[in-house]
Amino acid sequence: MTPISFKANYLKDTTVLERKSPNNYCDTDVSIVELDPKDKRDMYALGNVACKWSTKHSYGLNIYNDALDEKSDQKKSSEIYKKHFYAITSQDSNYKHLEDRKILGLAVFSEIDGPFNVLDWLQISPSTNETQSCNRKYKNLGTAIVNFIKGTSDKNIYVDSDISAIDFYKKNGFNSVNSKYPSKMMWNA
């Protein structure tokens, strides 16, 4: 008998801000789900997201490539216990068929052997994350994912941030661990 896959697996609802008019944001519910690299529907959604998000500063392709490696069990380090692929989505049901157009953000989080876990990638949809905050359709998507991950980790969390995201991580409780390389950051559990 073949087991039925129920991925993407719903994990939690959370609240972010959605723009209703140029200067008016209101609370809106979104969902955090975990994607399964061994599920063809999840990989299809990730592949579409990687293509749509492909910009100079997008990590969508890196996230997709990590999922491909995980699917084929390549590059499996003996120190990684579990790699998680999380999505934040405006979809509110039927996560078995995740709609890529409703994925608002992605993250890859590795539980590893050692004193800390690793936030490998965090990417918010470029179309929802305009550089001018007044143009953003949503606010607090990255913070929602980071807070979820912090709530699941029983260890400190390390991230080697993009230089442009240092302020974001500091705002979310991470501190630089090396003054020479301020993008290497840690959140203490």
- The answer to whether 120 and 109 are in contact (CB under 8 A) is yes
Per-residue confidence of the chain (189 residues) as pLDDT tens digits? 344 444 578 899 999 999 988 889 999 999 999 999 999 999 999 999 999 988 766 788 999 999 998 877 655 555 667 899 999 999 988 888 889 999 999 999 999 988 999 999 999 998 776 655 567 789 999 999 999 999 999 999 999 999 999 999 999 999 999 889 999 999 998
- The answer to whether 122 and 145 are in contact (CB under 8 A) is yes
E strands, the chain, in order: 9-21, 24-35, 80-89, 103-112, 116-124, 138-139, 156-160, 175-176, 184-187
Distance of CA 136 to the CA centre of its chain: 18
Domains and CATH numbers, the chain: 9-187 (3.40.630.30)
pTM of the complete model: 0.89
